[in-house]
Amino acid sequence: MAADRDHDRDVAMTLVEDTGLDAVYSGTLAESWRQQPGAPVYCTDLTREEIEAALSAAERARLPARRDLGVAVMQERLGDGTTNPDEEWGVRLVRAINM
């Protein structure tokens, strides 16, 4: 999660941790693009330890093309309304495209 103020970060981190998830501070709001669609950390099931490296590996200029590719693959695969991939399919797809 991203925040510009320490208090906001602390509240959000506590709320995330209280839900049983691992909260990871990714920096300021200006840097939050690192966790947007197309970024290595987006929609993956990375561990807390893997997230820092994934955030650092993000390349802003590549995000739109990766995002659009993921959407195109999902539309092709799921567009007929009869395809029902397993619960890991989306994570595997996003990892293959974004990482």
What does the pLDDT look like over 13-68, one tens digit per residue?
999 999 998 899 999 999 999 999 999 999 888 888 899 999 999 999 999 999 99
Tokens of 5: 């103020």
Residue 11 lies in a domain: no
Per-residue model confidence as pLDDT tens digits over 61-87: 999 999 999 999 988 888 887 888 888
Residue 47 lies in a domain: yes
CB atoms within 10 A of CB 98: 23
Residue 42 lies in a domain: yes
In this prediction, residue 43 carries a pLDDT of: 87
Cα(88)–Cα(96) distance, integer angstroms: 12
Instruction: Please list, in sequence order, all residues whose beta carbon lies within 8 angstroms of the beta carbon of residue 35, skipping any fewer than 6 positions away.
Output: 2, 26, 41, 42, 55, 58
In this prediction, residue 78 carries a pLDDT of: 87
In this prediction, residue 65 carries a pLDDT of: 96
Q: Which domain holds residue 71?
A: 31-98
Q: What is the pTM of this model?
A: 0.79
Per the structure, how many domains does the chain have?
A: 1
Residue 66 lies in a domain: yes
C-beta separation of 1 from 16 below 8 A: yes
Residue 6 lies in a domain: no
